[in-house]
Amino acid sequence: MRMAEGVEWAMHSCVNLSWLDGHGPVPAARLAGLYDLPAPYLNKQLQALVRAGVLTSVSGPRGGFRLARAPEEISLLDVVVAVEGPEEAFRCTQILRNGPGGDASVDYRQHCAVSQSMRRAELAWRQELAGRTIADVGHDVVSHTPAAAERVRAALAP
């Protein structure tokens, strides 16, 4: 069970956009150039972030992407769900329905003890990600590497 590497790209792109203080928009090619990423594939992730309401895109020759809201209001869970989709990681196909005493009218995704245990773990994971924002990560980076934000701003400038 592994996430797409697009999650890493999307996270860093959001953190970098958070440092622009509303400047921008920044084209996908420039965001990709920052880390030598393939621009078309990063663009796909950025479009997913737009669909999820994390970014807005501006079309035209001076177009590109910017955060759709304050980085304090974008959680890491928002970014993960935008790229990976909303499904839970554990896949319950309700095999108990076919088992001894199984009942086709029961929704085992809700009632099976295995499903419930897996969901509890998933909730712990989601709560952790929901409790941390793009702004938190940006502050962490700058507290360890004070020049980081300025370097990114310079690299992303038109």
Determine the Cα–Cα distance for residues 30 and 32; give it in Å rounded to an integer: 5
For 139, the token pair is 């502050």
* Residues contacting 82, CB < 8 A, separation 6+: 10, 48, 49, 51, 52, 54
Asked whether position 105 contacts its own copies by CB under 8 A, the answer is: no
Considering only 22, 60, 61, 101, the residue that binds its own copies (CB under 8 A) is 101
Asked whether position 151 contacts its own copies by CB under 8 A, the answer is: yes
* Residues contacting 115, CB < 8 A, separation 6+: 90, 92, 108, 109
Interface with its own copies by CB under 8 A: which range of 21-29, 43-51, 53-61, 112-120?
A: 112-120
Q: DSSP alpha helices (H): ranges in 39-101?
A: 39-51, 76-84
**Least distance (Å) from its own copies to the CB of residue 18?**
12
Closest CA to 28 of 8, 15, 45: 45
Rounded to the nearest 10 degrees, how much is the dihedral formed by the CA atoms of 135, 141, 145, 151?
-60
**Least distance (Å) from its own copies to the CB of residue 17?**
14
**Least distance (Å) from its own copies to the CB of residue 56?**
22
User: What residues numbered 24-63 form the site for its own copies, per CB under 8 A?
Assistant: 34-37
Considering only 12, 20, 50, 68, the residue that binds its own copies (CB under 8 A) is 12
**Least distance (Å) from its own copies to the CB of residue 12?**
6
Give me the residues that bind its own copies (CB under 8 A), please.
1-5, 7-9, 11-12, 15, 34-37, 76, 84, 87, 89-93, 95-96, 98-101, 111, 113-114, 116-118, 120-122, 124-129, 132, 136-137, 140-141, 144-145, 147-148, 151-152, 154-155
